Amino acid sequence: MLEDDESVARLLKQATEEAGYNVRVVDDGYVALDAAKATDLDLVLLDVMVPRLNGFEITRRLRESGVATPILIITARDALEDKVKGLDAGADDYIVKPFELAELLARIRALLRRGSPSGGSLKVADLVLDTESRQVTRGGVTVSLSATEFALLEYLMRNAGRVLTRAMIVDHVWQYDFDGNDNVLDVYISYLRKKIDRNTDTPLIQTIRGVGYRVVDSRAS
C-alpha cells in the first residue's frame, strides 16, 4: 500500500488487516515501485498524489516491466479524464476520495477474486482463454491482459453468443454499481478490442446498441 498521509495510511492499514490481509505500507513512490517489482504481492494499492513518483507513473512502469499484479488506485480526482488516465496506465480499478471503507474492501475482494482460476479452457474461433494458466491467445499469438481485462473477456467467452447487458457485465466483473455516467466498461471493451480484434478480418467482440456486448464467431452464423 502506498499512502503518504500518515493518518490515512494508519486507518487503511488497520481496516485491511482486520479484514484478514497482510499489509505493507510505504510513503514514497520509488520505494513502492521497487517493492512491487521485487515482492510476490496479491494486490497493489496506490495513492496517486505521493512524493517523487505518482501512482499513475508507478502503474505504467510496473506494467511495462511485466508485473501483472492487480492495481487499485486511490485518487482525489473524480474527473473522467483522470480515471481514464489511471486505467490507460494499467490500473485495474480506482476509488475516489472520500470513500467508505466497506467500498474499498469490496473492491479489494473483487480484484482478488479475479486472480482465482476456476479451471478449464474457453475457445471462440481462434481466441483461446486458459483459466488455469490465465493465458490468452488469438491465432496462436499470446495476448497480454490485465486482471480486469481477463475477467471481462472470460465472462464474455463463458457466455459466447449470448448478449450480455451492461448491468450484467458490471455486476459480474466489478460486483458493485458504477455511477450511471461512468464509461469504465466502454473503456475496457475498447482495450479488449485493441488487443483481441485489431488487425484481424474477424472481430469477435460485438456491440449490441442500447443493450450491451457479446463475443461471437460471426463465421459460424
CATH 3.40.50.2300 occupies which residues in the chain? 6-114
**Rg over CA atoms, the chain:** 18
More confident: 75 or 161? 161
Mean pLDDT of the 111-123 span: 71
Q: In this model, does residue 42 exceed pLDDT 60?
A: yes
pLDDT band at 204 (very low <50, low <70, confident <90, very high): very high
CA neighbours closer than 13 Å in the CB half-sphere of residue 164 = 26
Distance CA 171, CA 165 (A): 10
Q: How confident is the model at residue 180 (pLDDT cuts 50, 70, 90)?
A: very low
CATH class of this structure's domain 6-114: alpha beta
What's the topology of domain 121-220?
Arc Repressor Mutant, subunit A (1.10.10)
pTM of the model: 0.59
Long-range contacts of 35-40 (CB under 8 A, 24+ apart): 36/62, 36/67, 36/69, 37/62, 37/65, 37/67
- The chain-wide mean pLDDT, for the chain, equals 84
Per-residue pLDDT for 104 more than 60?
yes
Q: Helix or strand or coil: residue 161? A: coil
Q: What is the pLDDT of residue 65?
A: 87
Closest CA to 97 of 112, 83, 110: 83
pLDDT at residue 144, as a whole number: 92
Indicate the pLDDT class of residue 119, thresholds 50, 70 and 90.
low
pLDDT band at 58 (very low <50, low <70, confident <90, very high): very high
Percent of the chain having pLDDT more than 90?
A: 25
Question: Which residue ranges does the chain devote to CATH 1.10.10.10?
Answer: 121-220
- Inter-residue contact 40 to 130 (CB < 8 Å): no
Confidence at residue 195, expressed as pLDDT on a 0 to 100 scale: 94
Angle between helices 80-89 and 184-196 (to 10 degrees): 30
Is 75 strand, coil or helix? strand
